[in-house]
Structure 1
Amino acid sequence: MPTDDIVQGVSPGALTEEALLRELASLHGTRHDALRHGPDSALANHTRRTTELEGEYLRRHPSREINPARIR
């Protein structure tokens, strides 16, 4: 079976708010290690999962609080 057909992790839409935030924090915390030391497949998987979870967060919070000091 091609690896593209393998779904890893719970669907972002099925996560509770608490679980979504916990998963995002975990991924953000491991990004540096994945970038520096992970094989290409691990980095690609990390990027895919981060994109999925961040997309779900933005879908749930379209009017999230924006810190004006962060605008560039």
Structure 2
Amino acid sequence: MADSAHGIDPSTLDEADLVRELAHLHETRHETFLHGSGDALSAHTGRTAALEQEYLRRHPERDVDLGRTREGARSRD
């Protein structure tokens, strides 16, 4: 279901489209943060959150790099 403000419902995207959409949003985040209007930043944040939540729902057992955890970061010190 298309919604011009929020895009296609993340749960209806196939895996490749979900990953591609996430990659695109991650690529555009910095420019949106620096130069986007408040509305653009809010929409970007909401869309990113929705897509990330869908990814996490599909991949609850995804690989987590121990160096990216609080405990792993502390062990580097």
Cα distance in 1, alignment partners of residues 22 and 36 from structure 2: 18
TM-score by length of 1: 0.89
Q: Which runs of 4+ in 1 moved over 4 A?
A: none
Gaps of 5+ in 1: none
Per-residue deviation, residues 22-48 of structure 1 (Å, max 9, x unmatched): 000000000000000000000000000
Structure 2 counterpart of 1:32 = 30
| Higher Rg of the two aligned structures | 2
Mapped contact 2:5–2:43 kept (Cα < 8 A) = no
Cα distance in 1, alignment partners of residues 39 and 61 from structure 2: 34
C-alpha RMSD of matched pairs (Å): 1.4
Q: How far apart are residue 18 of structure 1 and its match?
A: 0.3
Counting only pairs closer than 5 Å after superposition, residues 1-72 of structure 1 correspond to structure 2 as 7-72=5-70
Gaps of 5+ in 2: 71-77
Identity %: 51
Aligned length: 68
